[in-house]
């Protein structure tokens, strides 16, 4: 009996429920975005993800790495995030920025749905620090990118091996919806078509 209960609890911990989530958009900035691998495909997927998370009322945090040098968040992402407020950082890991860790703590979310750039630097270090901080990073593989595809692939492998959940934008949105036939389901279905 005890073993079954423990397995059910572990399984539930791996399922993703919208009530326990927040979203994180990492450093999709003017001087970084143009040099990213498959940037147009990445942008299309991230906009779908952000619209879906907003429709599902998932709170979103946004960071910018040294915006004075790297510019602001790119305009299409800013528009998708309205109202747009970014947390400035100089540390690669978002979790090392007190304004971010404080804002995340106030949300009370246990799972953090992560998108952004670069996969092998800021996204990776943030995911590792979230794990160390007792959070569960949910890394949306088609909503992260790097300049070099091998860097992204290696970062995903490392995050998965460390305990992060790896998913895709369509998969996470339908997991958050849970059932067909609802208004949320119809909204998400329209977005992913």
Residues serving a catalytic function are 27, 89, 122
Dmax (CA) for the chain in angstroms is 58
For residue 9 the two structure tokens come to 């609890």
In terms of Cα–Cα distance, which of 28, 58, 70 is closest to 138?
Answer: 58
Q: Could you read off the pLDDT tens digit of each residue along the chain, which spans 193 residues?
A: 455 545 444 544 688 999 999 999 999 999 999 999 999 999 999 999 999 999 999 999 999 999 999 999 999 999 999 888 999 999 999 999 999 999 999 999 999 999 999 999 999 999 999 999 999 999 999 999 999 999 999 999 999 999 999 999 999 999 999 988 888 888 898 988 8
CB neighbours of residue 24 within 10 Å: 27
For residue 122 the two structure tokens come to 């800021």
| pLDDT score recorded for residue 14 | 80
pTM of the model: 0.92
| pLDDT score recorded for residue 74 | 97
| CA distances in angstroms from 7 to 11, 18, 139, listed in the order given | 6, 22, 23
| pLDDT score recorded for residue 49 | 97
Residue 46, SS3? helix
* Residue that has been written with the tokens 């915006």 in this structure: 67
* Residue that has been written with the tokens 């949300």 in this structure: 107
Domains of the chain (ranges; CATH) run 17-192 (3.40.50.850)
Could you tell me if 86 and 80 are in contact, meaning their C-beta atoms sit under 8 angstroms apart?
Answer: no
């Amino acid at each position: 009996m005890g073993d079954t209960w423990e397995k059910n609890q572990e399984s539930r911990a791996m399922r993703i429920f919208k009530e326990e989530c927040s979203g994180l958009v990492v450093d999709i900035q003017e001087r970084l975005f143009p040099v990213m691998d498959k940037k147009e495909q990445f942008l299309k997927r991230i906009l779908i993800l952000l619209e879906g998370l907003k429709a599902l009322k998932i709170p979103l945090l946004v960071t910018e790495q040294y915006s004075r040098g790297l510019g602001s968040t790119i305009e299409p992402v800013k528009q998708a995030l309205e109202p747009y407020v970014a947390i400035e950082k100089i540390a690669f890991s978002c979790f090392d920025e007190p304004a971010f860790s404080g804002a995340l703590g106030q949300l009370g979310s246990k799972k953090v749905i992560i998108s952004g750039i670069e996969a092998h630097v800021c996204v990776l270090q943030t995911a590792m620090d979230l794990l160390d901080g007792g959070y569960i990073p949910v890394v949306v593989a088609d909503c992260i990118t790097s300049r070099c595809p091998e860097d992204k692939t290696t970062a995903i492998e490392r995050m998965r091996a460390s305990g992060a959940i790896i998913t895709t934008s369509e998969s996470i949105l339908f997991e958050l919806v849970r059932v067909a036939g609802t208004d949320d389901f119809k909204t998400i279905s329209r977005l992913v078509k």
